[in-house]
């Protein structure tokens, strides 16, 4: 998890070619297929995001996410680094992005048994729609993101699959 945090921080905050330009927080849902002592199901949780984009071509954006999901049977903590291609297909304040992400996560059972996973890497493909608006002189945005995640978490009781669809909605501030 610390490797993803270090890599994401370097790309978002300390990249001399990109500008740290927005941050957001939101709610999310994540499905997972279970196994290894963890039941499959749906998790809900919170997400925090920091972003930097390149001021000139190409229209790319780096993201650093921290996600904390939980359900009645499991909890999942992820640190995610993403790279998105940005496009604005309409003349409205709407931005659409497509991207790839690398994640580091820790899946744990919350149902009373002692199943816990080791920190493991995963990856995902994602798409996001974002609408910008102005509020009292500040540029804000609302976004919705869907991610198809692929991960496997070896646990003390076998292997749990974190493969599934994640959907998040957030509000953000653009600097």
Q: Which residue has the tokens 């493969």?
A: 163
The domain tally of the chain equals: 1
Kindly report, residue by residue over 11-43, the tens digit of the pLDDT.
Answer: 899 988 899 889 999 999 988 776 666 677 788
Q: What is the CATH number of the domain that holds 126?
A: 2.40.160.20
Under the banding of pLDDT at 50, 70 and 90, the label for residue 55 is confident
The residue segments making up the domain with residue 164 are 2-174
Structure tokens at 121: 């890497």
Query: Which DSSP symbol is given to 2?
Result: H
Report the predicted TM-score, pTM, of the whole model to 2 decimal places.
0.86
- CA dist 23 and 94 (Å) reads 17
Kindly report, residue by residue over 91-121, the tens digit of the pLDDT.
Answer: 888 999 999 999 988 877 776 655 566 667 8
């Amino acid at each position: 998890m610390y490797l993803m945090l270090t890599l994401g921080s370097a790309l978002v905050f300390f990249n001399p070619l990109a500008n740290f330009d927005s941050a957001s927080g939101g709610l999310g849902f994540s499905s997972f297929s279970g196994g290894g002592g963890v039941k499959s199901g749906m998790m809900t949780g919170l997400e925090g995001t920091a972003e930097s984009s390149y001021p000139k071509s190409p229209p790319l954006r780096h993201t650093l996410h921290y996600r904390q999901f939980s359900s009645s049977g499991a909890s999942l903590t992820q640190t995610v680094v993403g790279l998105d291609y940005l496009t604005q297909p309409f003349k409205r304040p709407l931005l659409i992005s497509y991207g790839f992400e690398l994640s580091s996560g820790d899946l744990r059972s919350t149902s009373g048994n002692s199943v816990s996973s080791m920190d493991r890497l995963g990856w995902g493909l994602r798409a996001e729609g974002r609408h910008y608006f102005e509020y009292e002189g500040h540029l804000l945005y609302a976004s919705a993101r869907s991610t198809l995640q692929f991960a496997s978490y070896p646990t003390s009781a076998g292997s749990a699959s974190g493969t599934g669809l994640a959907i998040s909605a957030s509000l953000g501030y653009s600097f």
